[in-house]
Amino acid sequence: MDTVRLGRTNLKVSRLALGAMGMGDASWRSWVLDETASRPVVAAALEAGINLFDTCDFYSLGRSEEVLGKLLGGMAGRDEVIIATKVGNPMGRGANNRGYSRKHILDACDASLRRLGTDYIDLYQTHIWDPDTDIEEMVDAFADLVRAGKVRYVGATDMPAWQFAKAIYHARHHGLPGFVSMQNHYNLVWREHERELIPLCRAEGIGLIPYSPMARGFLCDPDRQTLRSGDDEYADLWYGRPEDRAVAARLADVASARGVKPGQVAIAWVAAQPGVAAPVIGANSAEQVADAVAALDLILDDDETALLASVYLPRPTG
């Protein structure tokens, strides 16, 4: 698989990343795979040349990190893989067991290192955003982790563009290690970040590693019922407008004409967007990994791209 630089860094990442939200403990979410079931998924990703693996302390309340760390430790050299994880979501009942205080960031990083079974995290990212965050304290704490050798690079997940800009410029002004990536929600039926966040990232050389390129399966089949769709509150919250279904219908037409699966066209569209380094895919089988990898070979022409874009309706900002 081809690799590209992550933003302006010299770090080379595969053109797809494997997300590990679906690995860990089924008691957290019914569709989560245990270690045994996750093994062939990780093996298929490594065999295909994927080197970027993304997880979070919150997934299965830490068990995802444990499973991913153990599997990668047994299948690949540490220098061959890029391990990304996140901080910010609640990890306990205490007021300081979440968010972006210096206390929680430092404590959470140490806990993630133990669960992953590694001495360092390649890419440490914010997760669910807290708008009340003191940006300077957060950036300073992340910088200290980099200087301590516990983290190689720092990244962010969805946040308002103006706050992300503040974080970027605080780090730059003070000569601190700054954010190098943005893991944002981006697909054919969710393009809201094209207004501000994505242009900011492109202008500042921030690598985009968008999640949900297939809209949590909605773009594969809007009416498909799966274990995940049964207890994924975000899918119903984010997708399902008549305009979203119109996009899915156009996507199905393009896929049918190409003789490929709709989800593959959805991945190909995201991967081709300017600034995108590596869409983050989820998979529960080696076959799904293979399908996603094959999507990188799809090059959509101008007519297909225009057809897919023509029925999208932006959501209100107010």
pLDDT value, residue 293: 98
Rounded to whole angstroms, the Cα distance separating 213 from 266 reads: 6
pLDDT value, residue 238: 85
- Global pTM exceeds 0.85: yes
Rounded to whole angstroms, the Cα distance separating 96 from 103 reads: 7
Within 10 A of 237 (CB to CB), how many other CB atoms are there?
Answer: 8
Rounded to whole angstroms, the Cα distance separating 228 from 29 reads: 8
Among 59, 100, 124, 186, the one annotated catalytic: 59
Rounded to whole angstroms, the Cα distance separating 16 from 81 reads: 13
Residues of the chain with pLDDT under 70: 225-234, 318
Within 10 A of 212 (CB to CB), how many other CB atoms are there?
Answer: 26
Rounded to whole angstroms, the Cα distance separating 264 from 255 reads: 8
pLDDT value, residue 236: 74
Rounded to whole angstroms, the Cα distance separating 82 from 46 reads: 11
Please indicate whether residue 59 is annotated as part of the active site: yes
pLDDT value, residue 191: 97
Measured CA distances, 10 to 77, 145, 161, 271, 273 (Å): 20, 19, 24, 20, 20
Helix (H) / strand (E) containing 88: none
Proportion of the chain in helix, strand, coil states, percent, rounded to 5: 45, 15, 40
φ, ψ for residue 172, nearest 5 deg = -65, -45
Beta carbons within 8 Å of 312's beta carbon, 6+ residues apart: 188, 189, 191, 243, 247
